[in-house]
């Protein structure tokens, strides 16, 4: 029997190995879940129709247990509301206790900030009638009429960096805040769109590059397979 009799199997193995390598290296992994404890917190960003220098940011907690956890961290609720196994027990009175507290107001103004043209905007927290369900609104007054503003959201990520925030803005704009990416630009007035507005085109280019890389690997594998086939025929 020719020593090359089993080379086609070897060539096929190389093809499969290279294709598997391409799938592992070139195709990005699926993103992790958006929130470690349930529904993610949200923010809604909007300009003020009558006051062009004002930006409204409405923050709402994802789950009521997260609100209780924040209240405990701020010293507004007793520590025994969080069990040793991490379970958190929400009570209807928690929102009423946390909402008007100065510590909660200070926390929001520290963790949610708005900049316009590199200058900080001053925030004022509007009391909420139902903190747990409709959230709370912060009005930011900027030095002048706003065009593009940088809104940073770091709420709850100081408690656990896995928290994320789903954000919405004018014209159906969307963004996701994370501990690694706590700031996003939002177009609220007459200003050129931020660089992130071209994310769709950038993503398409990245996908094309990945598919091109996979194609090159497959073509290379086929060339190797044919080369092994020729050697077998010559040896035969």
pLDDT at 75 over 90: yes
Question: Of 126 and 4, which is predicted with more confidence?
Answer: 126
Single pTM value for the model: 0.66
Residue 86, Ramachandran bin (φ over 0: left; ψ between -120 and 50: alpha; else beta): left
Task: Please check the confidence at residue 10 and state whether its pLDDT lies above 80.
Answer: no
- What is the pLDDT of the chain when averaged over all its residues? 77
pLDDT (0 to 100) of residue 210: 41
Q: Going by DSSP bridges, is the β-strand pair 165-168/41-47 parallel, antiparallel, or unpaired?
A: parallel
Bridge partners of 149, per DSSP, are 116, 186
Residue 61's pLDDT is: 95
pLDDT in tens, 13-40: 554 444 444 443 343 333 323 335 588 9
Confidence at 84, pLDDT banded by 50, 70, 90? confident
pLDDT for residue 223:
52
């Amino acid at each position: 029997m020719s020593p090359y009799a089993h080379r086609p199997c070897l060539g096929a193995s190389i093809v499969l190995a290279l294709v598997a390598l391409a799938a592992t290296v070139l195709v990005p992994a699926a993103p992790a879940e958006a929130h470690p404890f349930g529904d993610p917190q949200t923010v809604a960003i909007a300009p003020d129709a009558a006051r062009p220098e004002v930006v409204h940011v409405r923050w709402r907690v994802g789950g009521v247990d997260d609100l209780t956890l924040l209240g405990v961290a701020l010293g507004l609720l007793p520590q025994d509301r969080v069990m040793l196994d991490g379970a958190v027990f929400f009570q209807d009175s928690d929102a009423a206790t946390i909402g008007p507290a100065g510590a909660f107001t200070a926390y929001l103004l520290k963790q949610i900030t708005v900049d316009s043209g590199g200058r900080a905007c001053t925030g004022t927290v509007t009391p909420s009638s139902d903190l747990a369900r409709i959230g709370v609104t912060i009005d930011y007054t900027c030095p002048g009429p706003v065009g593009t503003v940088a809104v940073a959201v770091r709420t709850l990520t100081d408690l656990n960096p896995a928290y994320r925030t789903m954000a919405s803005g004018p014209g159906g704009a969307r963004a996701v805040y994370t501990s690694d990416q706590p700031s996003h630009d939002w177009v609220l007035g007459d200003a050129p769109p931020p660089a992130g507005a071209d994310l769709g085109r950038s993503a398409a280019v990245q996908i094309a590059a990945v598919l091109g890389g996979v194609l090159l690997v497959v073509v290379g594998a086929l060339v190797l397979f044919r080369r092994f086939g020729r050697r077998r025929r010559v040896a035969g």
